[in-house]
Amino acid sequence: MMSSRECRDRMKDESFREFVLDQLSPLEGIHCRPMFGGQGLYRDEHFFGILFKGRLYFKTDDASRSDYVEMEMKPFRPSAKQTLKTYYEVPVDVIEDPERLKGWAERAIACQAKMPRKRKR
């Protein structure tokens, strides 16, 4: 059975997910899948973002990462032992501005689209 705190946290995460998806609705093909105890954000087959504990992280590359670092945003840390330095937290003021968020999402999607595809065995 879930504790009341776990229930509140889950509801908070679900409402945040719905808010982010609504903000990204101008982009076609955006959807979520469960991962890392959070949600992975995809545009078609391109995994470009992570929703985790009420925060949004986007895929970065050498060119885009500086925008996140300049705003003092941190990389994604799913645990104390693991840091994914190619995914950075999106600033709240960007999340709240749909047009700006769309631009940041498009850059994250482009970063992921440039990655070499893994071959299936």
- The predicted pLDDT at position 2 comes to 45
Q: How far is CA 61 from CA 7, 11, 107, in A?
A: 36, 32, 9
The 10 Å CB-count burial string (b at 16+, else e) for 43-76 is beebbbbbbbeebbbbbbeeebbeebeeeebebb
The answer to whether the CB of 58 falls within 8 A of the CB of 40 is no
Give the SS3 label for residue 18: helix
- Say yes or no to pLDDT of 8 above 60: no
SS3 content of the chain, % helix, strand, coil (to 5): 40, 30, 30
Q: What percent of the chain has pLDDT over 70?
A: 83
Q: What CATH homologous superfamily does 4-114 map to?
A: YgaC/TfoX-N like chaperone (3.30.1460.30)
User: pTM of the entire structure?
Assistant: 0.85
- The predicted pLDDT at position 11 comes to 55
Model confidence pLDDT, tens digit, residues 40-69 = 999 988 899 999 999 999 999 999 999 999
Which tokens belong to 3? 């504790």
Model confidence pLDDT, tens digit, residues 9-33 = 555 678 899 999 999 999 999 999 9
More confident residue, 2 or 41: 41
User: Hey, where are the domains in the chain?
Assistant: 4-114
More confident residue, 64 or 35: 64
